[in-house]
Structure 1
C-alpha cells in the first residue's frame, strides 16, 4: 500500500510540472548540436552492439533523440514559410536513416558471422555418431570441445536475436 501511495504521489508531481520546466528540459535534451559529433561514436556503438546485443534497446532511445537534429532546421524553415520544407525534411530524414543503418549494419554482419561459424563446426568438426557406440569409446565420440563451441555460438545467436526483438 505504501508503494502504491509513493507511486501515486510521484505521478501527481509529474502531472503538475510547469511549462517552464518542460521548456528547460527540452532545451537541455536537444541534440541538434550533435550531428557532427555523433559520427565519432559510430564505431563505439557498433562495437557495443557486437558484444552486447541487448544495448540495442538503449541505442533506440539515442536514435529517437537524434530526431531533434531534424527538428531545428525544419522549425526555422517552417517559420519562414519556405516551400523547401518537404525537400529539406526528406533530406534530413534520409541522412538520419542512413546513419541508423550504418550503426545497425553490425547486427546482420555479426549474425551471419556466427551462423557461418556454426555451419563450419557442424560440417567440418563434428563427426556423425554411429548407431552403436562401445561404452569405452563414449568419451571420444562425445566431441566435447566442438559441442561446447557449437553451444556457445548458438547462445550468441539467440542473445543477438533476443536483443533485436525486444
Structure 2
C-alpha cells in the first residue's frame, strides 16, 4: 500500500469520527431528556421598599457634581474639577434613565396575575424571565427536568438577580435562570 492510500484511509476514519462526535454533541440533550425545567411563581403579598425616582436620582447627581466641583476648585484644580463634575453629572443622569438597559433579551414571562409556571425548554443559556404582571411575583419552585440541574447563571447582577426560590420579581423587572445537563 502506498502512503497516499494510507492517507485516504485515515482521513475517512478521522472524518467519520468527527461526524460521530458532532452527532453526539447535537443529540446529548435528546439523550438526557427534555432540556431545561420549570419556574413556578405566585403573587407576593408584601409591598416593595421605596427607592429614589428618576427625577430625584438626577437631582442627587447634580448636587454631587456641584459639591465635587467646589471641593476640587478650592484645592486649585479647576480644569480637573470641571472634568470630574461633568463626568459625574453625565453618569448620574444617564444611570437614572431607561437607555441603560439590560443585555439579555426577554424570552420568558410571568404573565398571569394569580401565579403560574414558566416552562424553560433550553439549557446552557442564561434565560431572563420578566414579570409582565402588575403585581410583584415570588418564585415558589424551580424544578429541573430529568437529567438537568439549575446552575448559577454568570450574567446575574443586582439589577437582574438569579431566579431562586423566594426571589421576588417586581413588575417590569426580571431574574435570570440557567439549566444545564446533570
Q: Which bin holds the TM-score, normalised by the shorter protein?
A: under 0.3
TM-score norm. by structure 1 comes to 0.27
Q: Which has the higher helix share?
A: 1
